[in-house]
Amino acid sequence: MAAHNLKHALFCAIVTLIISYPILGFNLASEGIDVTLEGAKTSTVLGVLLAALIVFLFQLYRDNIMGSLRQLPAVNPLANRKPMEQSKRLKLESTLLTLMIIGALIWPFIASRGAVDLATLVLIYIMLALGLNVVVGLAGLLDLGYVAFYAVGAYSFALLSQYFGISFWFALPIGALLAALFGLVLGFPVLRLRGDYLAIVTLGFGEIIRILLNNMTSLTGGPNGIGGIPDPTLFGMEFGRRVKEEGNTSFHETFGIAYSGEHKVIFLYLIALVLAVITAIAIRRLMRMPVGRAWEALREDEIAAKSLGLSRTAVKLSAFTIGAFFAGFAGTVFASKQGFISPESFVFLESAIILAIVVLGGMGSQMGVILAAIAVTILPELAREFSEYRMAIFGAAMVLMMVWRPQGLMPMRRIHIELKRQE
Amino acid sequence: MLEVQNLSMRFGGLLAVDQVSLDVQEHEIVAIIGPNGAGKTTVFNCMSGFYKPTGGKILFEGKEIQGKPDYKISRLGLVRTFQHVRLFSRMTVVENLLVAQHRHLNTNLLSGILKTPNYREKEQKSLDRAAYWLDRVGLMDMANRDAGNLAYGQQRRLEIARCMVTEPKLLMLDEPAAGLNPAETKDLNQLIISLKEDYNVSVVLIEHDMSLVMDISDRINVINQGRPLASGTPDEIRRNDDVIKAYLGEA
Ligand SMILES: Nc1ncnc2c1ncn2[C@@H]1O[C@H](COP(=O)(O)OP(=O)(O)OP(=O)(O)O)[C@@H](O)[C@H]1O
Ligand SMILES: [Mg+2]
């Protein structure tokens, strides 16, 4: 334990005291019309002192602690096992996927309404994360404004239905295409930038879109949002108690069953499920197509990729646009699920959460991203008592993950390609 | 087929390439040699579009290409390797070869997602071409390894194979023998000759290994401190006083 460690630890402890005592120790209390400053309670003072002591000890033994933390990946029993053979792994993966889909199909009929609603949200996040995975995981473009395209999808549907009475099924492709168009237009100027610069500019674009939505009051209703977004219909059958639109019939009357609010929730869930599966399959195909390989090649070595005739702009734009397309998909479903949207739903935190899902799951890996989406959406719901500490727990989990398994839950595995020897 | 006329490249105050001219005919292997820092790689970078030359012309099949974007030049059939190997190291060996063939597989997204028969046929063709070249450079057994995990010599050969699957007309090799052992250099020697003889590719090559250069080159250009020093057949170069002086002076 070197002397400079002691000095450093003392310094850190004092900084802790200086920062936390005024914040936690002084309270403003109102006495009648006056506001007075109250000193700290003894328990708070003790708490602050304890915190400073912990900081002191941690910094003092920092080298040892970090050293043993670094051993953690080795403690992980799964870290160094031999990779499974490809045929076996694919079989296992497809069985697992089939089971998951079967489970997902049964789910709405056994779970409560709230649980089905939550599952719909999980599916929306899966779509978002799979889309962002293309941009960040495969193409290596750090996009911090992804939520903008989600917003474009949601607002397209909301506005189209409000002004033109367009139904969910028409709005779905339109929303996705509009989001893709936004991706294309925004991508064009920003994709010249690299790394951190790209991250900052996309972050800015994300905020600009949200602020625009907030301020174009006459069109979007500003912070009040847009309500009354219609539910999807099933072949012209509505799920409400009463039929709202001329020419439609209602679901429960057609089938002669009693009205239940649950039908609508289940229906939406099933739509989200189908769309999520389509998203996963489409992106899986894309990854194995020339575009997908071009994304990765450009991420690996830009100069080599260009020397082989790949156009940097075209390849990056395609990733950006396709990612935006699926965000638009998810946005439309989200608008329909909520029935009401406002700029509140599209803050930077959403982008951060989607990005966290991609990183936690393992960049480029679909299975990992799906698992991470489930975990990140459901865990906060399960631990509602701790909801105040949600972000703190989230942050701690991220740090631990980075130490324990920096490559993500299930890092991407390359598929092996069988070749025939040529004569 | 390729003609470089009075090419100059200035970096600030440094004139790295000064009035260099050279030409490559069909079915020919042309070498560029010269001491370290002579400006050989810079000539390549201008030819492949990485730099926009500050002076001179580059004609490929009669058309001016200087200043064109790199990926467009590559699509014309002018493909290069790098002095320091540049592979897509976290992709597998086959994938490296498939990336290079993106233009042969130029179908729309939907036909790929839906796996139409037309798409499958083209995909199979690129796989076959990849397999052919892997076999040709002796990397068939490595097909599904990550390219970054190959031995150095193997990486060099993969880089050449990756150029060849694009079916280039003119191949530019920047020090292909650097870091190879004598046996590997001999194989390389044969490979380059076979590229010319069997696949009708012209080759421009930068190389320090004199025996390799003298063996396989049809003509040699010598550059010294950015300026052209001599050019001619290997025999002429071997006997050229200026070249001898430059190389002895350096040694
Ligand atoms: N991008 C650049 N900016 C500034 N100077 C450069 C740049 N590229 C090359 N140079 C300079 O140009 C000169 C020629 O370099 P070049 O790499 O072409 O030499 P070379 O003949 O390939 O040498 P070697 O045999 O060592 O590969 C060197 O002095 C180098 O420092
Ligand atoms: Mg060089």
A354-395 per-position pLDDT tens digit: 999 998 888 888 888 999 999 888 887 777 777 777 778 778
Q: What is the pLDDT of residue A193?
A: 85
pLDDT at position A165 over 50 = yes
pLDDT at position A209 over 80 = yes
pLDDT at position A171 over 50 = yes
Which has the closest alpha carbon to B33: B194, B181, B177? Answer: B177
To the nearest whole angstrom, how far is the Cα of A303 from the nearest Cα of chain B? 8
The token duo for A325 is 């397309």
Contact residues of ligand 1, CB 6 A cut-off: B 11, 14, 16, 34, 36-42, 83
The residue with tokens 């900084």 is A15
From residue A216, alpha-carbon distances to A149, A224, A345, A420 in Å are 17, 11, 16, 60
Q: Hey, are the CB atoms on B92 and A419 less than 8 Å from each other? A: no
> Does the domain at residues A93-404 carry the CATH identifier 1.10.357?
no
Lowest mean pLDDT among A231-240, A340-349, B128-137: A231-240
What residues of chain A lie within 8 A of the CB of B82, using their CB? 303-304, 307
Give yes or no for B102 touching A (CB within 8 A).
yes
Q: What is the pLDDT of residue A410?
A: 79
In chain B, where the domains are located: 2-86+168-248, 88-149
In chain A, where the domains are located: 3-69, 93-404
How far is the C-alpha of A97 from the C-alpha of A93, rounded, in Å?
Answer: 6
Nearest CA to ligand 1 atom 5: B11
Q: What is the tens place of the pLDDT at every residue in B51-77?
A: 999 999 999 999 999 989 999 999 999
What confidence tier does A136 reach under pLDDT thresholds 50, 70, 90? very high
Option in B74, B128, B132 nearest A308 (CB): B74
**Count of Cβ atoms closer than 10 Å to residue A100 Cβ:** 15
Nearest CA to ligand 1 atom 2: B11
Q: A42: exposed, middle or buried (C-beta count within 10 Å: 0-12, 13-18, 19+)?
A: exposed
Q: For chain B, how big is the Rg over CA atoms in Å?
A: 19
Helix axis angle for A261-287 and A113-132, nearest 10°, is 20
Option in B71, B75, B94 nearest A417 (CB): B94
pLDDT at position A125 over 60 = yes
How far is the C-alpha of B19 from the C-alpha of B46, rounded, in Å?
Answer: 13
From residue A305, alpha-carbon distances to A18, A195, A300, B100 in Å are 53, 17, 8, 8
How far is the C-alpha of B63 from the C-alpha of A245, rounded, in Å?
Answer: 65
The token duo for A302 is 């830009």
**Count of Cβ atoms closer than 10 Å to residue A317 Cβ:** 18
| Summary mean pLDDT of chain A | 85
pLDDT at position A114 over 80 = yes
Q: Which long-range contacts (CB under 8 A, 24 or more apart) does A96-105 make?
A: A96/A367, A97/A367, A100/A370, A101/A273, A101/A277, A104/A273, A105/A273
pLDDT at position B158 over 90 = yes
pLDDT at position B251 over 50 = no
What confidence tier does A244 reach under pLDDT thresholds 50, 70, 90? low
Instruction: Give the number of residues written for chain A.
Output: 423
Q: Which of B11, B221, B225 to mutate to test the pocket of ligand 1 (most atoms within 8 A of CB)?
A: B11
Q: What is the tens place of the pLDDT at every residue in A250-277?
A: 666 667 676 777 778 888 999 999 999 9
Q: What is the pLDDT of residue A195?
A: 80
Please report the ipTM that was assigned to this predicted complex: 0.91
pLDDT at position A238 over 60 = yes
How much is the average pLDDT of B236-242? 86
Nearest CA to ligand 1 atom 4: B11
Domain B2-86+168-248: what homologous superfamily? P-loop containing nucleotide triphosphate hydrolases (3.40.50.300)
How far is the C-alpha of A384 from the C-alpha of A87, rounded, in Å?
Answer: 42
If you count residue pairs, one on A and one on B, with CB atoms under 8 Å apart, how many are there? 117
To the nearest whole angstrom, how far is the Cα of B244 from the nearest Cα of chain A? 35
What residues of chain B lie within 8 A of the CB of A414, using their CB? 91-92, 95, 144, 146
Q: What is the pLDDT of residue A299?
A: 92
What residues of chain A lie within 8 A of the CB of B155, using their CB? none
Relative to beta strand B63-64, strand B219-224 is unpaired
Residue A259 vs residue B179, higher pLDDT: B179
Interface of B with A in 127-156 (CB under 8 A): 127-128, 130-132, 134-135, 140, 143-144, 146
What confidence tier does A407 reach under pLDDT thresholds 50, 70, 90? confident
pLDDT at position B227 over 50 = yes
Q: Which of B9, B18, B40 to mutate to test the pocket of ligand 1 (most atoms within 8 A of CB)?
A: B40
Q: What is the pLDDT of residue A253?
A: 65
pLDDT at position A11 over 80 = yes
How far is the C-alpha of A65 from the C-alpha of A59, rounded, in Å?
Answer: 9
Half-sphere exposure (CA, 13 Å, Cβ side) for A108?
A: 20
The residue with tokens 């150029």 is B163
Counting ligands in written order, the one closest to the CA of B250 is: 1
Q: Hey, are the CB atoms on B140 and A419 less than 8 Å from each other? A: yes
**Count of Cβ atoms closer than 10 Å to residue A152 Cβ:** 27
Highest mean pLDDT among A29-38, A80-89, A210-219, B44-53: B44-53
Q: What is the pLDDT of residue B216?
A: 93
Distance A77 CA to ligand 2 centre (A): 47
To the nearest whole angstrom, how far is the Cα of B82 from the nearest Cα of chain A? 8
Greatest Cα pair distance in chain B: 66
pLDDT at position B222 over 90 = yes
From residue A356, alpha-carbon distances to A334, A338, A368, A369, A386 in Å are 20, 23, 12, 10, 20
pLDDT at position A342 over 70 = yes
How far is the C-alpha of A389 from the C-alpha of A164, rounded, in Å?
Answer: 43
How far is the C-alpha of B204 from the C-alpha of B22, rounded, in Å?
Answer: 10
| Summary mean pLDDT of chain B | 91
Residue A293 vs residue A234, higher pLDDT: A293
Q: Hey, are the CB atoms on B71 and A301 less than 8 Å from each other? A: no
How far is the C-alpha of A266 from the C-alpha of A116, rounded, in Å?
Answer: 7
Q: What is the tens place of the pLDDT at every residue in B202-221?
A: 999 999 988 899 999 999 99
Going by the DSSP 8-state scheme, the letter that residue B81 receives in this structure is -
Going by the DSSP 8-state scheme, the letter that residue A416 receives in this structure is P
Q: Say if CB A314 and CB A307 are below 8 A apart.
A: no
Q: What is the pLDDT of residue A75?
A: 61
What confidence tier does A155 reach under pLDDT thresholds 50, 70, 90? very high
CA angle B94, B98, B103 (to 5 degrees): 170
Whole-model pTM: value is 0.85
Q: What is the pLDDT of residue B243?
A: 82
